[in-house]
Amino acid sequence: MATITLASKRRRSGLAAKRRKKALRTAAFMSPWLIGFAVFFAYPLISTVYFSFMHYDGFKPPTWSGTKNWTYVFEHYPYFWPALRNTLWLVVVTVTLRVLFGLGIGLLITKIKTGTGVFRTLFYLPYLAPPVAATMAFAFLLNPGTGPVNSILEKIGIPAPGWFNDPNWSKPALTLLFLWGVGDLMVIFMAALLDVPKEQYEAAELDGASAWQRFRFVTIPNISPIIMFAVVTGVIAAMQCYTQPLVAGKVASGVIQGAGTMFEPGYPERSTLTLPQLVYNLGFQRFDYGSACVVALVLFALSMAFTAFLMRRRGGLIQAGD
């Protein structure tokens, strides 16, 4: 009995040593990621939470301010709620339209028999344009007084909008700009569409499925993971939208930002203001790091909530086993 117990103990300690070794080996293999996670994610996140409760301007030592920064951002900072509304608008409207438009263009190009390469290039090229240059070009095209778009609209008798100069039209104008640069999604969707097994279409055709039914019951289920990818990355990118609204607002407002010019976010009437602009404004212009951290945390929480919602619901897009 005693011999058996001893043997079993030895076996157990041997197993434990093996498990420890395995765990260490696993940790060693994972260490690059763990270090990256700790340095680039966990520490900055904890720091951001910490500093959201501190008063800190980058020079004097930080001092505890309790919930002052949170109260300021939510109750007294006049830009927060408009920026939140604009960011949500961009997430919902722009992402939806970009996915639909990218998919539509991708579908069209896969159906074209000749000149596919030309169309593919034409639709992809705008994506390569630097954001600032693209936005300035759109501000020129959509200039309410001298832009060619309004000249054409006026000639055909359609009331010309104020685009980037009108708070009701500035976000649709931005959406047009984002749709113009939909080349990245088009390429991804094209690859996915070309990957759908032809036999499934043939089988559906034999069963008498219409073009819409083939799209709905063959194409969509096959490319659903790609749609999911486009939506999730689109939502995250829309949450971080910074450059285009800023440039559009500045160009349209007529203020060429000189060295001493004051920052004037969101022209016109805060309609192009986004949350990342507020992080920059509070953190790097006002040097109110505490409040900037609050806005950054709101942005983080929103991104997490959207992503979790999409991954949980999967929008009915990803089938079991995918």
Which ranges of the chain does DSSP label H, i.e. alpha helix?
A: 2-37, 43-51, 68-71, 80-89, 95-111, 116-128, 131-141, 148-155, 170-180, 183-194, 198-206, 211-214, 220-239, 243-253, 275-280, 289-313
Nearer to other proteins, 126 or 221 (CB): 126
Using CB under 8 A, which residues numbered 178 to 237 contact other proteins? 178, 181, 184-185, 233-234, 237
Q: Does 253 bind other proteins (CB under 8 A)?
A: yes
Furthest C-alpha separation in the chain: 102
Distance (Å, rounded) from C-alpha 170 to C-alpha 248? 9
Instruction: In angstroms, give the least distance from the CB of 55 to other proteins.
Output: 8
52, 86, 224, 244: which one contacts other proteins (CB under 8 A)? 244
State the minimum distance, in angstroms, from the CB of residue 47 to other proteins.
5
Does residue 264 belong to the site contacting other proteins (CB under 8 A)? yes
CA distance 299 to 285: 19
Applying CB under 8 A, which of residues 32, 33, 59, 199 lies at the interface with other proteins?
Answer: 59
First to last CA, the chain: 52
Which H helix or E strand runs over 55?
strand 54-55
* Contact flag: residue 243 with other proteins (CB under 8 A): yes
Q: Please report, as residue ranges, which positions from 147 to 166 form the binding site for other proteins (by CB under 8 A).
A: 162, 165
For 64, list phi and psi in degrees, rounded to 5.
-65, 130
In the complex, the residues that contact other proteins under the rule CB under 8 A are 39-40, 43-44, 47-48, 50-51, 56-62, 68-69, 72, 76, 78, 90, 94, 98, 131, 143-146, 162, 165, 178, 181, 184-185, 233-234, 237-238, 240-244, 252-264, 268-269, 276, 279-280, 283-289, 291
